[in-house]
Chain A
Amino acid sequence: MADTTVSASTVEKKRINPQIENFKNVWRKLRQNRLAMAGGFLIIFFCVAAVVGPWLTSNDPNMPNVSDRLQGPSGEYWFGTDHHGRDIFTRLVHGMSITLRIGISSVIVGGTVGVFLGIISGYYGGRIDAVIMRSMDVLLAFPSILLALGIVAVLGGSITNVIIAIAIFSIPVFARIVRGSTLAVRKLEYIDAVRALGASDARIIFLHILPNIVSPIIVQATLFIATAVLSATGLSFLGLGATPPTPEWGAMLADGRNYMWDHPHIALFPGLAIALVVLAFNLFGDGVRDALDPKLKS
């Protein structure tokens, strides 16, 4: 008798929150993936460095120091100095927050709009779907960075405008994926059941569909941060994003270009920094994808 009660109550406990169980399961898989964990730790490290770093560096990121210009890496200047005598390491540390801010906020803005459009499109179908998805097709018809380039040309170059441009460029990517997932979930029986119980469309969309399509959204968001960072540094490199003397990494590369032939360290370190941040998000995104849903691996 006693035994049955105990096992019944454990079953009951397990049933309490399948979402937490699911999360634990994903976390366990993610922890076994060494590359993904390396990526995750790098991301945390970069975030901490972006917040704390500027307080720890003793040099000024923007103050020219003519007597120390174009110095190679040394104990005093770890990554050397640029043509204004500014410490490259300090500038990279100060630029970290700009890079992360652009990457993360453009994905949040673009992802929110894209998820909203995709879910509406997939849920209602018909004419709404046709209008939304044809508009997304139009945005996708502009090859990658070109759309962002056009938007920045219209808005003018600044970090905020780069975020807006990349956010717009990410909308169709999210909308397409979310629409597909919504279509799959919408047909499931429990949605019919909830609707029969009298739930409103908004309730069904936000409480019953959205939680079930979170996996592909998370995967896409993580991987798109990598794309966003590459695009943003590219725009700044072209002189259309952050402007000097802002220690943005792409702008640093553009700025130091004329001096790099004799002083390779000027271009080497900012590029490596970009590559490392992008690599971290790619590694982590890959891992999250595999942990959440191996079927997405394509």
Chain B
Amino acid sequence: MFVYTIRRLIQTIPVLIGVTLVVFLMMHLIPGDPAQIMAGERADAETVELTRDRLGLNDPLPVQYGSFVWNAVQGDLGNSIRSGRDVSAEIVPRFWVTVELAVYSTILSVFMGLIAGIISATRRNSISDMVIMVVALFGLSMPNFWLGLMLIQYIGLTVGWIPVSGWGGAAVILPVITLGTAGAAIIARMTRSSMLEVIHQDYIRTARAKGVKERYVIYKHALRNALIPVVTVVGLQFGVLLGGAVLTETVFAINGLGRFVVEGINQRDFPIVQGSVLVLALLFVLVNFIVDISYRLLNKRIELD
């Protein structure tokens, strides 16, 4: 297990290099001169040249990349073009808002998804199974930003005590439902098919044959093994949630990292875009790492490589 963890850790190094490289290159692939963008559209040639020098844009690309990574490791992601403020300082509070949103949504989707999936699997082909699967399929097909708008319209504006924008307190309810629905649908479908597969295994028949109560068979024997593939889906879902947070935060005017990216793009404030995208990608790499390790812990049958 320890060896596996170390090996998995080493595997993330090329990914980290790649991610930083892509984010770094974003800046250089933008049409136009970064120094000109940084200095402002109306800046004269001298200011642009000064900015270019200050940003180190005259250095060779590998040197620039090196200092980008070096600064990022030290928590320096540059300054915003518009406000001049330190990007890292702007990112930190927003980062926690997005993490909160994603974690609550994950909890909601795992909770709803597991319950719905288990009901569906244990009552296969019943009315409740069909209803759950149809609802899940629709939940999966809805654009989450539209679901958010509909929730505001039909719940937020009729139920007085639920705020329809911002973050904190009751205001988390609608965004979490918005972001968690698709995940719940995916987890419900996954749990159902995984449970159905496990229920047909020999050891379940053995458990039933030796007189174990049906409830124990389902929760102790079947669910444990059925959960293994679900864990991977939850991990992947977390990435989808981080991406989906961009839309959810925009709909509910939440000051999270996702909305920050969109603002940065709209205002052509590239240090903000760069910094936020980098942080979100690193978070996702970390989550994937944790999921892989826990998957390994749950499933002892899996081969080491």
Contact = CB atoms under 8 A, between A and B. Distances in A.
Interface of A: 134-135, 137-138, 141-146, 149-150, 152-154, 156, 226, 230, 233-234, 237-240, 250, 253, 257, 260-261, 264, 267-268, 270-271, 274-276, 278-279, 282-283, 297-298
Interface of B: 14-15, 18-19, 21-23, 26, 29-31, 137-138, 140-147, 149-150, 153, 157, 190, 193-194, 229, 239-244, 246-247, 250, 261-262, 265-266, 273, 277, 280-281, 284-285, 288
B265 A146 contact: no
Nearest to A146: B243
Contact of A149 (B14, B144, B261): B261
Tell me what chain A mostly uses at the interface: helix, strand, loop, or mixed. Answer: helix
B247 A145 contact: yes
Given A134-B18, A271-B142, A275-B138, A149 B284 contact: no
Tell me what chain B mostly uses at the interface: helix, strand, loop, or mixed. Answer: helix
B140 A282 contact: yes
Nearest to A229: B143
5 contacts: A142-B277, A143-B243, A146-B280, A154-B29, A260-B149
Nearest to B140: A282
A143 B143 contact: no
Contacts of B277: 142, 146, 149-150
B81 to A, nearest CB: 14
Nearest to B142: A275
A126 to B, nearest CB: 16
Given A143-B240, A238-B247, A149 B19 contact: no
Contacts of B280: 142-143, 146
Nearest to B147: A271
Given A142-B19, A271-B142, A274-B146, A154 B30 contact: yes
B141 A278 contact: yes
B292 to A, nearest CB: 12
A154 B143 contact: no
Contacts of B157: 261
A283 B247 contact: no
Given A143-B240, A143-B281, A150 B143 contact: no
